[in-house]
Amino acid sequence: MYYSTTYQSPMGVITLACNGGNLVGLWNEGQKYHGGSIPEAMAEKSDAPEFDAAKQWLDKYFAGEQPAASELPLAPIGSAFRQRVWDMLCEIPYGEVVTYGDIAKQIGCKSSQAVGGAVGHNPISIVIPCHRVVGANGSLTGYAGGVQTKIKLLALEGVDMSGLFVPKKGTAL
């Protein structure tokens, strides 16, 4: 059984999902693939311990603290390849960015686009920090929660934005 609740963040409403033991989803309102990894309907339940832990984690994060993904019981649903990419995302330090190509090299994948697909389908946004991944040229693309949300999250973390930019056109905006 899967459960959901909401959390009011400075970025808007966030939906949280759990499976009765682990956090399995965290999506911004209107985010691409919102709830897409959950294989069945979710029942509303606001008092799950996973939700309490996730809300405390988010409170710290939005207060400018640096909670680690490892502080929460996470169980994102996805293929073995996506799991490897999501594990790599959890290793990106707070306030830093890496490129899709960097991740591809680290996991021995020849396709930055395949990595981009896995990053884009991350079902536990913010906690598994897919917003910390940028294009090789510094482009701020590929965030399923929207490029403006990505910018806000990176700014919250104090990322030097001087070499980063929003592309004028593209499929990942």
Q: Can you give the residue range of the structural domain that contains 33?
A: 2-71
- DSSP per-residue string spanning the chain: -EEEEEEEETTEEEEEEE-SSSEEEEEETT-TTTTTT-SSPEEE-S--HHHHHHHHHHHHHHTT----GGGS-B-----HHHHHHHHHHTTSPTT--EEHHHHHHHHT-S-HHHHHHHHHT-SBTTTS-GGGEE-TTSB----TT-HHHHHHHHHHTT---TT-B--SS-TT-
Q: Would you state the pLDDT for residue 66?
A: 97
Residue 1 pLDDT > 80, yes or no? yes
**CATH classification of the domain holding 146:** 1.10.10.10
Query: 153: how many CB neighbours lie within 10 A of its CB?
Result: 22
101 has a pLDDT exceeding 90: yes
Query: What is the rounded CA–CA span in Å between residue 152 and residue 158?
Result: 10
Residue 162 covered by a domain: no
Residues 52 and 105 grouped into a single domain: no
Please indicate, yes or no, whether residues 84 and 140 belong to a single structural domain of this protein.
yes
Q: Is the pLDDT of residue 172 over 70?
A: no
Query: Does the residue 164 lie in any domain?
Result: no
pTM summary value: 0.93
Confidence band of 173 (pLDDT split at 50, 70, 90): very low
What pLDDT is attached to residue 30?
Answer: 85
Average pLDDT of the chain is 93
**163 domain residue, yes or no:** no
Looking only at the bridges linking them, the beta strands covering 23-28 and 133-134 are unpaired
41 within a domain of the structure (yes/no): yes
7 and 50 housed in the same domain: yes
Tell whether 172 is covered by a domain. no
Q: Quick one: average pLDDT of 10-32?
A: 94
Cα within 13 Å of Cα(79), Cβ side: 8
Annotation says 18 is catalytic: no
Task: Give the confidence band of 32 by pLDDT, cuts at 50, 70, 90.
Answer: confident
**121 assigned to some structural domain:** yes
166 within a domain of the structure (yes/no)? no
